[in-house]
Amino acid sequence: MTDAAVEVDIDGRRLKLSNLDKVLWPATGFTKGQMIDYYAHIAAVMLPHIENRPVTLRRYPNGVDKASFFEKNCPSHRPSWLPTIEMGDVGYCCLNEAASLVWTANLAAIELHPCLARGEQLDRPTSIVFDLDPGDGADVLTCGRVALLLREALDHFGLQSWVKTSGSKGLQMYVPLNAEVTYDDTRPFSLALAQVLERQQPDLIVTTQDRAARPRKVLIDWSQNTHFKTTVSVYSMRARPRPTVSTPLAWDEVMAAVGAGDPEMLVFGAPAVLRRVEEKGDLMAPLLTEQQRLPHT
């Protein structure tokens, strides 16, 4: 690869890519060109999870160890074929094709953060999300223990759940609904369930954002269930020292990692994720079609 701009054709879209040799992950030497290549190859399974949704970009123009910024308004210099979704006074990028993923990657948008609702019904989330965030002294395995407890609690209501790594320190659980619900339904349910688990496991779980309450515990962040919050997308790369990815997991993988006490079993880099998809398919595909009802809705 070269630092000179190159033109590529992605499904009939002509794109100019630049600075492909620029190292974005200094600790490993992983380059912008390698990131673009990852997004081009993961597009087939990633796009169904983000298409027709408002997406916030998190851009790292000088690499993961330098300053970043969130970009909600889709850049004005976007291609004419890249649509936006208006929410309030913001026009978010709407990433519906592989070329749009490559275009945002060329902006050094390492992380993609979609809303829980689609553009045609912005008040209707398709899933509930629980973001499991470890405090100081806790780790992804602690999150795994909490995820298994939360899964059991959801099973009590007849609700199936799916889990992925955040690609950073924790895990994220999704409960697909694909039903006629609003955030006024999903937000109180997620809070109430988190608070029940907090009362049952006060030494392990918190529901408050207060940092002082979180050492050695896991925050069940229920507050993501609102129209103005976003959660990092499945298959998004993350700005960590290594080029990790928010990766779908099978529940037996969570149990195996917790049982083995090995956090590395829940860490996946970009090349490993491409191999996993080739071998296992999209483990979170059920989020797109599974219809479930919340109690009393």
pLDDT for the residue 206? 97
- pLDDT (tens place) for every residue of the chain, 297 residues total: 446 789 999 999 999 999 999 999 999 999 999 999 999 999 999 999 999 999 999 999 999 999 999 999 999 999 999 999 999 999 999 999 999 999 999 999 999 999 999 998 999 999 999 999 999 999 999 999 999 999 999 999 999 999 999 999 999 999 999 999 999 999 999 999 999 999 999 999 999 988 888 899 999 999 999 999 999 999 999 999 999 999 999 999 999 999 999 999 999 999 999 999 999 999 999 999 999 999 976
DSSP states along the chain: --SS-EEEEETTEEEEE--TT-EEETTTTEEHHHHHHHHHHHHHHHHHHHTTS-EEEEE-TT-TTS--EEE-SPPTTS-TT--EEEETTEEEE---SHHHHHHHHHTTEEEEEE-SB-GGGTT-BSEEEEEEEE-TT--HHHHHHHHHHHHHHHHHTT---EEEE-SSSSEEEEEE--SS--HHHHHHHHHHHHHHHHHH-TTTEE----GGG-TTSEEEE-TT-STT---PPTT-B--SSS-BB--EE-HHHHHHHHHHT-GGGG--BHHHHHHHHHHH--TTGGGGT-----TT-
